[in-house]
Amino acid sequence: MRTSNPTLSERIFAKERVNTTSEVMTIQGTKLKTLTMLALVVLGAVYTWRLAFMESPLVNTLMIVGGIGGFITAIITTFSPRNAPITAPIYSVLQGLLLGGLSAFMAAQYGASIITQAVGLTFATFFFMLILYRSGTIKVTAKFRMAVFAATGAIALMYLISFILSLFGVPIGFIHDGGIFSIVISLVVIGVAALNLTLDFDFIERGVNQGAPKYMEWYGAFGLMVTLIWLYIEFLRLLAKVNRRN
């Protein structure tokens, strides 16, 4: 059984469960860790946001550090969940630096309202999917997991191909322009990201039921933040495409 979020897999809990001490993972503890990580993302984002509007030359450097550093920290966290209490907060700050600069860039182009809309849509999606999951409207079965996993992999492959082609000066316009097809693609990607949230909820619940060690609360929160950041960026992309059409 697996989640399509690569940071959260059944293998991770199975491996870490052997290290369980008297303190085990809880839902409440994971919630608190998630809120802590969210606060760190906001702090990092506010810092680069302010620098961007002060036209500081440090913004681009901090965004690069945040992007590359966040990726490296995510890899370390994925392969070493025991270090999540240290690496997960660092990941949050680094991603905040990247998101703050990106958000400032988008706000300068399309107006600050695009940021408010993207944040609102991200959290609305989070709570909506949580309600669907808790009510049993969406049942996370093995086939459901595999379907979302396959869709997520296809999206990752599409973005990778697009990135590689762009390096050779061959942009894929229908993915990034403001056309109807591009907007539909963004909506599909957002839908898949939203479905990943239900898998993440289910995975964390399974970890709690299986008695995962306490530090896995940080790891579960880290997995949720990966999906939430993905959702936020995709909503920004969608809103930018819609604004280009107006």
Q: What are the structural domain ranges in the chain?
A: 10-245
Query: Token digits for 77?
Result: 């966290």
**Residue 181's pLDDT is what?**
86
Residue 3 confidence class, pLDDT cut points 50, 70, 90: very low
pTM value? 0.88
C-alpha 103/C-alpha 118 separation (Å) is 10
Q: What is the pLDDT of residue 2?
A: 40
Residue 14 confidence (pLDDT) above 90: no
- Quote the tokens at residue 47: 């810092």
Secondary structure tally for the chain: helices H, strands E: 9, 0
- Other CB atoms within a 10 A radius of the CB of residue 23 amount to 11
* Mean pLDDT, rounded, of the chain: 88
Buried b (16+ CB within 10 A) or exposed e, 194-227: bbbbbbbbbbbbbbbebebbebbbbbbbbbbbbb
pLDDT of residue 151 exceeding 70? yes
